[in-house]
Amino acid sequence: MDFLVEFLIAFFLVVSGIFGLVGSFGMVKLRDTMQRLHAPTKATTLGVGGVLIGSMLYFIFVKGGFSFHEMLITLFLFLTAPITANFIAKTYLQAHLRNSDLPQTGRKYGWSLFDDPPSEKPDR
């Protein structure tokens, strides 16, 4: 195996291990739900993504074939983590904040979390 390929695979594995460690440490040390939200969605997602990218490189350059499974797992991970974080943040805001705690939006309608959407249709 070429040194560059070995270095690239090792680089992705080491960097993803560091991201995974930082994400796990963040889950333990951060106090609030909104602070803890960043650890799994940012650092751990990059950690698992780096392992999957390293695995894809291994199968491409060493085994000589493309691993479609890792590509699908990576795509699924990078698509679902932000959506899940958004749901957790909205749930936290709805459970712990009141409408009066939030700043004014400066628009005709307020926060979508607390105010119903407008019923009239805009003119086009």
Six-digit token string for 30: 């951060």
Query: Do residues 113 and 94 touch, judged by C-beta distance below 8 A?
Result: yes
Residue 29's domain spans which residues?
3-88
Q: What is the mean pLDDT of residues 106-122?
A: 69
Res 8: pLDDT = 94
The tens digit of pLDDT for each residue in 48-58 reads 889 999 999 99
- Terminal C-alpha separation, the chain: 61
Residue 88 has pLDDT above 80, yes or no: yes
Number of domains in the chain: 1
Per the domain annotation, does 113 fall within a domain?
no
Per the domain annotation, does 110 fall within a domain?
no
Per the domain annotation, does 9 fall within a domain?
yes
Per the domain annotation, does 45 fall within a domain?
yes
Cβ neighbors of 43 (< 8 A, separation 6 or more) are 19, 20, 22, 23, 26
Confidence of residue 1 (pLDDT cuts 50, 70, 90): low
Per the domain annotation, does 121 fall within a domain?
no
CA separation for the pair 40, 78 (Å, rounded): 12
Per the domain annotation, does 96 fall within a domain?
no
Per the domain annotation, does 34 fall within a domain?
yes
Per the domain annotation, does 32 fall within a domain?
yes
50, burial (CB in 10 Å: exposed 0-12, middle 13-18, buried 19+): buried
Q: Check the CA dihedral 75-78-84-87 and report its sign.
A: negative
Residue 86 has pLDDT above 90, yes or no: no
